[in-house]
Structure 1
Amino acid sequence: MDIFNEIKKKLSHEFIDIIEWLDDTKDTLVYRFERYQNEIKNGAQLIVREGQMAVFVNEGQIADVFSPGTYVLNTQNLPILTTLKGWKYGFNSPFKAEVYFVSTRMFTDEKWGTKNPVTLNDDRFGFVEIRAFGTYAFKINDAGKFIKDIVGTDSRFTSYEINEHLKSLISTRFTDTIGEANLPIELYAANTNELSDTCLEVLQPEFESVGISLERFFIENVSMPEELKKEIFEYSRLNKIDLDKLSKFKAAKAMEIAAANESGTAGAGMGMGMGFAMAQQMGNIYNQQPQQTAPTSNTQHPGAPAGGATPPPIPTPTQYYYAVNGQQAGPVAFENLKALFAARTINANTLVWKQGMPNWSSLNTVPELQSLLGTIPPPLPNI
């Protein structure tokens, strides 16, 4: 009696009459329809729901692809499979073929981010590092190509399995895109919408090459080290004020702090150095005023040069003009120029001019200013 029941059960499941997939997951991209001995009955019903596509594979070769709808499987709606099977005059017996259901709905809120910092070369700040992260959305638009190039014979393929590949692809193309954008470093965070659109345009062909459509791409944040942020904020403030006045103000404050620190030789040395700089500035102001001619006298003062000779005037320090953001600033003395260089307000490529020079020249090409190039220590290494 048990033997007859087993035979009856086997015969009832030997041929499939209805082929369908009820997706109860949120991450399945491809599902292979399982059935007894891969046999499908002639005239079986295929049900493809909205957000799905069905792909028939014969001996590893993509055959017929079905969009949403209900189909009765026969030689009329299986033209490719009919050719592969050699059904010239129709068929009445069951046939074998693999059936894959592909989810074509949109997969949203997929995360991406740069695993390592991206190094950029900025004209003002040199080599800098940034990081970025965001989200993207995609869907399968060519089911046959996606199965052939990505899925293979996997019976259940999830979004997690493809996401690692897609995130690596995004990170690589993102690095290339921002490198070619060549924006000032502070503008990357302010132009995330424009960069997102550009990255979307660059990435779409890469996704389509494996049967995927990139529907959305968003850069949520572009971050940089805190030290670099502070430099950028200070630089932006400097652009709004008179740099010459600022340098004099900083020199005066430094001298005041150094004078108050009487406990160490380092503070005394700093106070002396800044005092000399301030004295030089005051001397410049004095030298710019009309000089009065001292009355001559036959009386020789004690300590005066023999024969009544008058000493030559004290030489006036060389005054330099410099360019910041396309605007002329100055003139300033060498010490002030040195302070501006130390504060990174100017750099080796800044254009400078002094009396006697025929044209503006880069700071690093003026012989007497080349000593400034070694006064700025390199940035601290990341520890």
Structure 2
Amino acid sequence: MSSRPRRLATIALAVLISLAGFSTAHASPRAWSASWTASPQRPSASFAPNWSEQGFADQTIRQVVRVGAGGELTRVRLSNAYGSTPLKVAGATVARTADGAAIRRESLRHLTVKGARAFTVAPGRELATDPVPLRLASLESVTITLYLAGSTGPATFHAQALATTYRAAGDHRSDAGGAAFTQTSSSWYYLSGVDVAGGPARRDGVVAFGDSITDGAGSSADANNRYPDQLAERLAAAGRRQAVLNQGIAGNRLTVDSAWFGDRAVDRFRRDVLGQPSVGTVIILMGTNDIGISELAGASPYPIFAPYPDVSAAQVIAGHRELIRAARANGLRVIGATLTPVKGSAYYTPRSEAKRDAINAWIRTSGAYDAVVDLDRALAFPDDPDRLAPPYDSGDHLHPSDAGYQAMAAAVDPNTFR
């Protein structure tokens, strides 16, 4: 088929899907596949200055993400999960990324909801746009631009993007160049997902669910070197069309809610894992913050880590069991990841290490998981197994380096995926 008939067929398919109501939350979960995600968080100052608490007014924000699996059609999901007022989007576009804040002009598509370019996301809700005929390849970067004309109030966001977000005064949703986008941030705002459709219906997406070590803390900015990204690269190199969705939140705990670091994992699991379309497998790496922050009570100069309950190994294991039950009830394959070494970091004490050892022994030997990836052993320093190997240490003795994240991705056996 020539390019012109293929393009006309793709447009026709987009129209049919839109008329059938697939742009709403009631779409068949098999009609769309999540290709990129970020977990929404409450507005906060977090680790670094950001725009979440002040929000936006007569400003355009431009955000660049790299998708996992490709497809013929694209839609974008926006979250107002922690907004107290309706989020009014005056206009939005999606395009292939050029360089920095610039886009490839010929790929620009205006995003709509029920055919309208201006739309509203209700407080506490997520909204998916209508499909657009934008064909994306696996591991291709895409740029989403939102023009917010009125005052938004505090913004639902994802604190640690490890990617550059751009802001401009006024309406620049259709700009091909990036000259107007003179301000930058290292967080994502309102953006919770990019989905693709048009390929074979399948349920083979993989969710990496965890804390900062899944989120990518310590990896290079704008380099896509988080372990889920590097795992996606492995799959693509092997010819496997599977997205690896990063649902990590820095500082997140399995058993404890935090205004700064997200709802506890046992609560957000339904939204961040079970709510993703066409997912078949979840890799769970959780518990490091539960036992590590327990050691900071009375010693931490950072109130952002509060509260400081003493979380036991048994409580963490009970949290894992709860996640396993929820995943299996929804037909997902569940892979458990052992907790990585922390010796030399503020989290390390003999007591926290005893908890980590107990949790890891349970993950390895209990048979509770469908499969296990032993990240502890993959990253450990042979001369001192409680410590990250020096090449894998970003410098804080807690978070891996780019090489460490590569080693994590290499430790995952793709044959254990659904």
Query: Structure 1-normalised TM-score?
Result: 0.23
Higher-Rg structure is 1
Relative contact order higher in (CA < 8 Å, ≥ 6 apart): 2
Query: Structure 2-normalised TM-score?
Result: 0.21
